[in-house]
Amino acid sequence: MPRYSMALLWSAILISSGIGIASAADLPEAPLPPPVAYVPAAPQFSWSGFYIGGNAGYGWMNGSGTLTTITGPESFTTSGNGFLGGAEVGYNWQIGPAVFGVEADFQGTTESGPISATAGPAISGTAKTPWFGTFRGRLGYAFDRIMLYGTAGGVYGDNTMSGTVSTVGPFSSSTTFWSWTAGAGIEAAFWGCWSAKFEYLYIGTPNKMPTIPTVTAVSESAYTNVVRAGLNYHF
């Protein structure tokens, strides 16, 4: 091929390339994709801190034992039930999903029931628990705003008894008692700083019962069941 023909060919190629490059440069740039909106993760609810609240519920008790009188031992039975209500205060520490806490409460109750023994001097009366309180530890597992927990501790309260002993007549007495308690519950934070709970407690045998005329010793086995619901405000 003659040299001038090769020169013409290369010139045509260069000119065509230049036109292509210039045409590509004149094309509008492709639009960038829109930025992805940042949505922050919802903050994890924390159970840590002080709280105060109130509760209401129901309790029922059953007991039996032996009263020793001047004529010897005789068996007795007792039972009772009633409504209760009160206030609580506590503090929680949360580490991961584990929640450790302490709580104290004070309850007024309408719990009352009969007590009777007939083998010796006939004894009949009514036993009541006007008030009691608990101080307990709590160990829970949190699923964000819902917590399952177990609880255990001590109980103190007041027992009263009034009635009649056949050989003596009417009587009335009261005493302060101590015992233990254990139970479980569920608590849910539902709005702002508020939470609601439902709880069950088992209360063991009181360490003593009110004095009864002619009775010199008492051996008793008793237990109380408590179910209650409450509202707490967390600080």
Give the sign of the dihedral formed by CA 108, CA 114, CA 119, CA 121.
positive
CA dist 18 and 190 (Å) reads: 70
Q: Characterise 10 by phi-psi region: left (phi > 0), alpha (psi -120 to 50), beta (else).
A: alpha
CA dist 113 and 80 (Å) reads: 4
CATH classification of 50-234 is 1.10.150.130, yes or no? no
Per-residue pLDDT of the chain (235 residues; tens, 9 = 90+): 455 555 455 555 545 555 444 444 455 666 777 777 666 666 678 999 999 999 999 999 999 888 888 788 888 888 999 999 999 999 999 999 999 999 999 999 999 999 888 777 888 899 999 999 999 999 999 999 999 999 999 999 999 999 999 888 999 999 999 999 999 999 999 999 999 999 999 999 999 989 988 888 888 899 999 999 999 999 9
Check: CB of residue 179 under 8 Å from CB of residue 202. no
**Domain locations in the chain as residue ranges:** 50-234
pTM for this one?
0.80
